[in-house]
Each structure stands twice: as structure tokens, then as C-alpha cells.
Amino acid sequence: MSSMRLAASFLALAVTAVLLAAPLASPPLAAGAATIIEFRSKICPYCYQQTEILSELEKKYPGQIMVQYYSIDTDEPMFRRYRVSLVPTLIILSPSGSQVFRREGLVPQDELVSTLKSLNFIRD
């Protein structure tokens, strides 16, 4: 019976190793547009403020930016992938998928617009 437990333990370890080694799906990127990823929590008031800012920017700059939202409640693997430990956290990816900006905490709208313009991702 102990050999069965030992075999089951090895099997569980092997499955865990395979799952941890498997690559996570990359967030979809908008063709020619910057992708802004907001990491948030359902109980974070600053996250709600950040979401409002990002919603306004998506409306103001259609086709120039794409926003994706990940919640610690449902998207923990993405938090680990991007090593996010505080919310809100914003990450901006270039159209090629490389990270070009990262900020923990609330990013005011004027600062975010300035950053996106300096990176040549939005234009009026």
C-alpha cells in the first residue's frame, strides 16, 4: 500500500511540474496599438478609479489603445506571470508585446496620457 502512495505522490509532483512549466497564454495584442493591462481587485477603491480613467481613454482614443483587466480573484496566474503584488498595477505593452511601462498604484489620467503620448501610442 505504501508503494501506491509513493507512486501517487510522484505522479502528483510530475503533473505539478508540467503545469508550472507550461507557458501561460499571452494577452491578445491590438494590431498597431498599445495594450494597457490593469491588475485589480474587486475590493480596491483605487482600482475602480483606475478603471474609470482607462474607460475614458479607450473612448477618447479608439483604435489607439486596448485595455485588458485582470482581477486577483479570477486571474491569479497572470498576476504571477507579471509578478504583480499590489493593486492597482498598470503595465503597458508595445504592439510587439514588450513591456514599456509599469506602475503600481493609481496613475492619474493626465500622467497616463502624457506617458502614452511620449511613447507615441496615442495622438489627438
Residue 9 falls inside a structural domain: no
Classify burial at 18, counting beta carbons within 10 Å of its beta carbon; exposed 0-12, middle 13-18, buried 19 or more. Answer: exposed
pLDDT of residue 31: 57
Instruction: Output the tens digit of pLDDT for each of the chain's 124 residues.
Output: 455 444 434 433 333 333 344 444 455 544 568 899 999 999 999 999 999 999 999 999 999 999 999 999 999 999 999 999 999 999 999 988 999 999 999 999 999 999 999 999 998 8
Residue 5 falls inside a structural domain: no
Nearest to 38, CA basis, from 111, 88, 104, 94: 88
Where residue 97 sits, what CATH number does that domain have? 3.40.30.10
Residue 112 falls inside a structural domain: yes
Number of domains in the chain: 1
pLDDT of residue 116: 96
User: What's the pTM?
Assistant: 0.74
Q: How far apart are CA 56 and CA 30, in angstroms?
A: 18
Residue 42 falls inside a structural domain: yes
Residue by residue, what is the 3-state secondary structure of 97-119? CCEEEEEECCCCHHHHHHHHHHC
Q: Give the structural domain span for 39.
A: 34-118
pLDDT of residue 112: 97
Residue 10 falls inside a structural domain: no
pLDDT of residue 111: 97
